[in-house]
A and B are shown apart, each in its own frame.
Chain A
Amino acid sequence: MNHGYLWAVTKAGTPQRINSKEKPEANEIYDWEDFPVHGVGGEPVHIIKLASTPEVVFAIDRGGHVYVFSTQTHLAIRQTVTTYSNQRWYPVIGWCSHTLPTDRPTFSNHDGTQRLTFESFSLRSDGWRWEEPWLVAQDSRRFDKEGWEYGLNFGRSIDWTSSQKSTSFVRRRLFKRTMRFVAIEHWIQMAMTNSEHKFLDLCAGNFASGSEGAFDLFALSEFGRIYRREGVCRNNPEGSKWGQIEGISSNDGGFEDISALGTSAAHRCLLVLTWDGRLYARWGMTPERPHGRGWMPINLPGSQPITGFALGYTSLWIVSVEAKIFTSNVSVDHKGIHLTQTNFREAGEAMCRMSCSRNDQVFAIANGTEVLHVRTGVCPEEPYGKIWTPMVHRNGENRMLQVDASTVSFTHRRIPKAWIDENFAPSTLDLSQIRDAQWRVKIISELREMNDRCWGVFQESIDGPEIENFARTDDQKWRLETRVAAIIANTGLLNWSEGVFQLSDTEIHVTLKRGTVYRRPLEDLCAIYPISSSKPAICVSMRPLSSSSLIRIGFSTDDERVQWIHELEKEIRRCAVLLPRDRRSQWAFSILDDGTPRCHVISQMRADKNNTQIPVSLDSAPTLLVPGHFIDISAGSERVVWAITSAGHVYALESRYDPLDEEVEYTYKQYDAQIETLIEHQKYAFFRGFLPFDGCSGNVYAWCDLFGKQKDKTMRLPRGWTWSDLEWKLKSDWEFGVRLDGEWGVAEKKASARRRVWQRERVFETSGPWIRVDCPPAESVHVSRNNDMILTWVITKSGDVLVRLGCCRAGPQGQDWFHVSSEWPIRLLCISSGNRVWALTKCNRLLVRECANAVDIYKIDWREVIVEEVTLSEIIEITACSRVLWMLRNDGRMLGVLAEKSGYLLYRIRNEIPLRRITVDRDGNLWAIGQQEIYRKNGTIREIRRSRPLEYEIPWEKIEMNDISMITIF
């Protein structure tokens, strides 16, 4: 049936294929057919590269995600998973699923070493469906009528019997469930479990390797790493994981930059093209060592760099930088790829992006017109062939991005007529006569739709009864129901899965098409916040009862997102106001990575096990978004909260503001402005000069922001923001560097990379509870935690320190500014208690002011403190409790400074986790923000080294809260 197809990707990013049968039968389609890829929300996906194998085709989109397409096969693709249910016999009670602590768990694998509950099994990807519910395995030789087999005791080796004896104290039965791959002839996204598995290139080959359905799939990640897909076989067309292959060591001690991969349909091999046009082959690849052992260079004609290559059975084709085509005979074995002739022979020109079939038939795309060509007359006697002949495209786009001939089956001189003969006419009974008839199109789409609906219903029926935490109520009234894309943290998958998000009066449900149902009562909702993603998305965080406390939901429109945030926050408020609050208790504000402030209601009380009311922890406190955009925020006594925008404006929070009260709407205007900066990189190639590149090279993206995060000019602005500049402005000339990730500012002659900066200003406007305070442009703010007199300290952009007097509950914005003079401009500041304030100057001197009466603190002078063994220029943040001054270094490590009689002593803090921010709450407890999560000091600091340099360790407690850039806890 399947004679192989010639696959191609059109200029618009749509995969296409054409049957490669030499003479298509009357009922077969002989023309190009489109197989577009769609995203989770149904949006078209732009494919940049595909790799075909006889039964499965893989493709990558612009974002580097992998898609899988299974061609029509004659055998169903199935996998069965199993688990054992174990029981023990107790006197009086009889058989019971509660096994002893030393026994196997109630559900386990065959030898009891692994706990395996029904819920621990999930479908591999969106391509799979459960075919049946869990069933007890029946086998009268092994099991009794109810499926049990009996043993004396759970141990390493048990003799199981099929009937119960007087010595049978344990028994087990085998449960089985089969999943079936249903994504036949349509694309699904491959499950992604590691964010580094985003790819720029991929290739597949070695189809005749012996084991059924196995092949090699290689991929090049955006960080330039090479991977091979492991576990690929007939019953697992997607494979199970990516295994990394070492890179090619370069002369400078690093690895060569790789721009493309290739392999052959006929051999176990791997070829890579370096960025500057050299070709390497992997050697030592055997069935036992599919990753091979080393790299060998391949000598190219005239030692010229090349831009493309293709390998067939005995021929290697290459494209030179001048777009000339060369070919040579090669032999391939486990020692690598060897040229059997010394010379390459020229075979045409103006072609690129070649592909070779297992019979050495070769295809290429013409430079300029981008029309697909086939080399005619390629045969063993004439391996160079005759001429490049354009292929016929009867309908639609004929400009191609890529061609893949891996599975093309015809041999020389038998190119299907339909491919190259424009006048080729099908026979009268041909299927193509009726293929596009309206009635047939309708029948096919309705058959597909009906089948999808039936499988969907079946998933629900068999998944439903397994969720035992909540009674399944079929008559749930959904107040809100939306088709979404979702990522549920505990599934380990990082890519979006299709699903439905539902809200009722009592709970939320996320039902993935793959069959996972996630449901939690509304009381467990903690926080909802927008996240930046390829689609309008939110993060929903739940009370951390289990690992599955975080879900990400992607919507198709921003309006949907706004509506859901509104509705879900309403539920958080509704649940929160029912519970008591302790007015004297702590409270906290944080700023998300995107600058949105949030209020954490940690004054909320909750009953513990003994029914005593205790304050909730930060991660389970109701958390609500506050309208606004800030870079710094500080909360002090009497609910005085101040914040600073990126433009340096200073705002104070309206004191009547209550995050739990939805009724009162504040309409103070808040503004912000930000310069968006993009850096454009280019690389140097021999003979071709500086060139732009796609995606990323090494660890540097072609287009990125100041922090190296991938961004480009087409970025969408978040809600509330508009561009104030009409277009991007070039801010610098090219700057040259030795390497992309190396030193910049070298002479152009020595450079192999260059970069320049683009900028564009954007502005923000919202209505909210923030009152503008007139002030010179400010950088940071610190509200004192002294109840007698609340002072708000502001550092301006020029390094001056201003103190706001008269802040109080009734008027959090205060009355007057007092300029605290200093000999040097100030960079960092912190308040350790009412009567001590620390500061670090721009010239890196450490200053302190202390006085007996806190009321006078702003009137006295700074005093310089000398601490030895510390490079103060490396310090990026300071914070202090009554005894210790904590400093955070730019490498994420902490130092402590303690006042002793002999002077100030420096302590090193051993910590494995690099930190981004540090802060203390009003009781002097230390908090920190790591790369992802938040940490809280829990317990006493341990001494590790008594002699100098003194070293301590802080016992951190991890709090699962993500995406936070700044936090202040009072």
Chain B
Amino acid sequence: MDYEVSRKVWDAKVPVEITLESEELADPVRPYYTMLSRCSYFTFVLPKAVQMFSTNCPNLSIDLDNVWLEYNRMPLKTYFPIGVLFDLLKEDESLPWRISLRTKNKPEGLSTVNRDMTQTMFMQAVKEADYLKRKGDMINCMKSDDHKQLWSALSQNQFDAFWSINRKLMECSDSRPFLLLPIRLYERGKSFKQAPIQPTTSGHPTTLEEAIKILDSDIDYNDAKFICHGIQIPLDTPVLWMTRNFAYPDNFVHMCLERKR
């Protein structure tokens, strides 16, 4: 484990301004400013924001189960980690990230993703990743308490508690190597791509460039940037190292492709 990098990835946050948008409001309400962990999910912060808005405008009743978030007139799919949504959707350089919280008229097809559902989807991803890495050997022999600890440590932002379990999922040695690497490539307006990527290519550690070729063979490298955790990743970075140190807590490396205009 590359502690320095893992810690920085875990600590990375984005400044977010959440504005309450409601037709019932006469005056604009002071926005909710917060720093959100890239690795966490919007379900963790929504109760806090709703509570603040309720305190500031007592006349308005906000139903936590019916609120939804919007950025640039697009609803946010809150089951993705915040960092992925930010890297994928943020269209300009300006900060903080301005998001609207809406209380009514949820678009059709945008299902409410509450805490429990987010947890289920998170665990699903962890399992899928382990199936890719070593056919699910590790996740299956872990106790269900360990599974719960992964989630609760994430929701409480406890790095050590999280990594005490996650370490096992990331263990990899010459005798017990990873089989395939869980990497997804996202592009705005498209569904993500996933393909079998091996840790080594003809005897050398597979680089990001080689992995991208497998994920999407049409990319013109002069025209594209590959973003993960908010920064551009050098193309010669070994993907095995990325899987172990640059994955989101759901054990997937979520790469975003950004084409230059």
| A contacts, CB < 8 Å to B | 1, 27-28, 72, 74, 76, 131-133, 135-136, 138, 145-147, 429, 431, 434, 438-440, 442-444, 446-448, 450-451, 453-455, 457-458, 461-462, 465
Contacts and interface: CB of A to CB of B under 8 A. Distances in A.
Given A429-B173, A443-B5, 4 more contacts: A145-B54, A145-B58, A434-B241, A457-B15
Interface stretch (B28-36, B109-117, B123-131, B139-147): B28-36
Contacts of A145: 54-55, 58
Contacts of B237: 439-440, 443
B34 to A, nearest CB: 6
Interface stretch (B192-200, B212-220, B226-234): B226-234
Contact of A146 (B33, B34, B55, B238): B55
A462 B34 CA distance: 9
Nearest to B161: A74
Interface in B1-48: 1-5, 7-9, 11-15, 17, 30, 33-35
A454 B35 contact: yes
Nearest to B94: A457
A453 B15 CA distance: 10
B236 interface: yes
B95 A443 contact: no
A28 B241 CA distance: 15
Nearest to A74: B160
A412 B27 CA distance: 71
B3 A440 contact: no
Given A455-B35, A458-B15, A446 B159 contact: no
A135 B58 contact: no
A439 B231 contact: no
B51 interface: yes
Interface string B220-261: 000000000111111011100100000000000000000000
A475 to B, nearest CB: 13
B12 A451 contact: yes
Nearest to A1: B3
A461 B15 contact: yes
Contact of A447 (B8, B52, B54, B95): B8
Given A439-B236, A439-B237, A447 B12 contact: yes
Contacts of A131: 35
B5 A447 contact: yes
Contacts of A135: 52
A439 B234 contact: yes
A603 B140 CA distance: 87
A225 to B, nearest CB: 39
Given A443-B237, A447-B5, A462 B160 contact: no
7 contacts: A76-B157, A138-B55, A439-B236, A444-B5, A447-B8, A447-B9, A447-B229
A461 B58 CA distance: 24
Interface of B: 1-5, 7-9, 11-15, 17, 30, 33-35, 51-52, 54-55, 58, 95-96, 157, 159-160, 173-174, 229-234, 236-238, 241
A243 B245 CA distance: 45
Nearest to B233: A443
A442 B58 CA distance: 49
Contacts of B17: 461
Contacts of B30: 465
Contacts, number: 91
Contacts of A450: 12, 230-231
Contact of A443 (B1, B58, B231): B231
A132 B160 contact: no
A74 B159 contact: yes
A831 B15 CA distance: 67
A444 B96 contact: no
A1 B51 CA distance: 38
Nearest to A431: B2
A593 to B, nearest CB: 44
A446 B159 CA distance: 21
Interface centre among B1, B3, B35, B173 (most CB of A within 10 A): B35
A443 B234 CA distance: 8
Contacts of B58: 145-146
B96 A458 contact: yes
A451 B13 contact: yes
A451 B5 contact: no
A290 to B, nearest CB: 31
Nearest to B15: A458
A454 B2 CA distance: 23
A72 B160 CA distance: 12
Interface centre among B173, B231, B236, B241 (most CB of A within 10 A): B231
A99 B18 CA distance: 33
A454 B232 contact: no
Contacts of B14: 454
A440 B230 CA distance: 15
A461 B96 contact: yes
Nearest 4 Cβ contacts at the A-B interface: A439-B234, A458-B15, A446-B231, A457-B95
Nearest to B235: A439
A911 B30 CA distance: 54
Nearest to B16: A458
Contacts of B35: 131-132, 454-455, 458
A442 B15 contact: no
B44 to A, nearest CB: 14
A440 B5 contact: yes
Contact of A72 (B7, B12, B96): B7
A427 to B, nearest CB: 10
Contact of A462 (B1, B33, B173, B174): B33
Contacts of A76: 157
B232 A461 contact: no
A431 B173 CA distance: 14
A625 B234 CA distance: 54
A416 to B, nearest CB: 18
Contact of A27 (B1, B9, B160, B234): B1
Contacts of B1: 27
B178 to A, nearest CB: 13
A431 B245 CA distance: 12
Interface centre among B9, B13, B157 (most CB of A within 10 A): B13
B223 to A, nearest CB: 21
B42 to A, nearest CB: 17
A27 B3 contact: yes
A223 B213 CA distance: 67
Contacts of A454: 12-15, 35, 95
A455 B34 CA distance: 10
Contact of B8 (A136, A438, A439, A444): A444
A251 to B, nearest CB: 55
Contacts of A462: 33
A451 B11 contact: yes
Contact of A138 (B8, B51, B95, B236): B51
B96 A457 contact: yes
B260 to A, nearest CB: 18
A442 B8 CA distance: 13
Nearest to A185: B4
A465 B28 CA distance: 14
A465 B32 CA distance: 12
A641 B25 CA distance: 67
Contacts of B160: 74
A131 B33 CA distance: 10
B176 to A, nearest CB: 13
B8 A448 contact: yes
Contacts of B54: 145
A72 B4 CA distance: 9
A458 B33 CA distance: 8
A457 B90 CA distance: 16
A446 B232 contact: yes
A461 B33 CA distance: 7
B232 A27 contact: no
A448 B232 CA distance: 13
Contacts of B241: 434, 440
A743 B17 CA distance: 68
B96 A147 contact: no
Contacts of A1: 3
